[in-house]
Chains A and B, each alone.
Chain A
Amino acid sequence: MTSPRPVPPHFRKPLLETPFSERARELQQNDHFVAWAGYSTVDVFTTVEQEYFAVRNATTLYDLTPMVKYRITGPDAERFLNRLVTRDVRRLKAGRVSYVVWCNDAGHIIDDGTIFRLGAQDFRVCTAERQLDWFADSALGFDVAIEEVTSEIAALAVQGPTSCFVLKRFGLAGLERLRPFELAEFTVGGRPLMASRTGFTGDLGYELWMRPEHALAVWDELLAAGQTRGIRPIGSQALNMARIEAGFLLPNVDFVSAEHTIRVHRERTPLELGLGWLVEFDKPHFNGRRALLAQRERGLERLLVGLDVAGNKPAHNALLYAEAAGRREVGSVTSAMWSPTCKRNIALAIIEAPYFALGTTVWADIYLNRELVWERRMAAAQVVERPFFAPERRRATPPADR
């Protein structure tokens, strides 16, 4: 009889490994890891530029297992979710996915995520942060079961213009018929696998959901299938560049969850984040509805917008002013980058009324560290439409077969 392998106590190794970690550790070259929701994940495999360009020109693998996942089931599952989130879940058909936010009583965002409708009474909710307490409290009066399934599902994002081709070669026959925000079940080499046409890059792409024990085999077969299409794994930094171009928001970067804010006016409502299209006032009551209605009546005091900044120096953390002289402060930048694809210096920023109106010019106070000497630039920044980058191929069904 052999004794079971001793498991080190959690305090010896507080960060978990994902089912893909073994391969990721072999391929990464920089020892550049980052903790994400209790897991150790790769921040950069080779160079950020190489990985970013693979997102826009080839196919990329991104391990999103640490994303928190809940399974919500029961006779009241739909009613429960419909009261929880601001979008109308009744209209979400089985086999489809919806991007949602949920708010507290004051209409302030707690988190954003996606709802996968797997059946009439069966949903998966993916969230940025753990939500069990909020979900459990929200379940009072509803006949639902809520279960965290984060570690039971290995998840891999396969994104890029050649991703459909690679996945078909991998074995997902008929994948080209999958429209954005649809999901489908497949079996590849005897392994069940779910694919959804979702992602965080704003490009053509899919997310694969599988059992953890199949993770390494799927990874290996995908890399083999994508060899002629420049497939490579990417880390969180490259993904972050892609999501800024796509205009997607990152919790704790572009907004802070209302559950974590301490200072007043640091919370954000979906209306203030430009997510008004996610708020469906004509559905039955949902958390924060009355507060959001009142805010709509009052008008917005601030709004998250896209900025086109003059020059090519990213406006990281820049304060924004109403005039070049920098007297009246009107907001600040939450995310910024030079966009290699758009060839524009872009940023996401939260700006006070009335300076958030489209076309308004504000001034970004940019600090540059030039060989340890700080220089300051006041750059004009214009409020522009988001997303900055939205290629046709992101929606095309079927996608290009190449």
Chain B
Amino acid sequence: MTLWFWIIVACVVAFLTKLLGYLVPRKWLTNARVARVAGTLTIGLLAALTVANTASTGQHLVLDSRLGALVAAAIALWLRAPFLLVVVAGAAAAAGLRLLGLP
């Protein structure tokens, strides 16, 4: 039930954030510093999510088949593969390495 509650909170906050852009005076958000923070936050969060999903299990740092998925995804992105193919490459690498006996 708490999960449902926080899902709804996230949805409401996301909508209000979008709407805010339409309601506040233009000057406020064209501020270069605000735009920079929005940009670096996006980069930082995605980098953190990438690393946490690759190398952590609970509070432990672990290296397992997911590292292979990261490498496969990077190669696919390097080759300019579309997003869906990148995701499939990641899944295939992780599944394949597990078939070979890696954790």
- Decide if A and B are genuine partners: no
Q: Spell out B's residues near A (CB within 8 Å).
A: none
Interface residues of A (CB under 8 A from B): none
